[in-house]
Structure 1
Amino acid sequence: MIRAWKRFAAYVLISLAILVGMDMARADAGSTVAPAAGPGDAARSWAGHIAALRARA
Structure 2
Amino acid sequence: MIEEMTKERAYAILGLPVGADFSTTSLAFRNLRDKYHPDINPRMRREYTEVIAAFEYLQRMFSD
Same fold by TM-score, threshold 0.5 exceeded?
no
| TM-score computed with the length of structure 1 as normaliser | 0.40
Q: In proportion to residue count, which structure has more helix?
A: 1
Larger Rg: 1
Report which structure shows greater RCO (CA 8 Å, sep ≥6): 2
| TM-score computed with the length of structure 2 as normaliser | 0.36
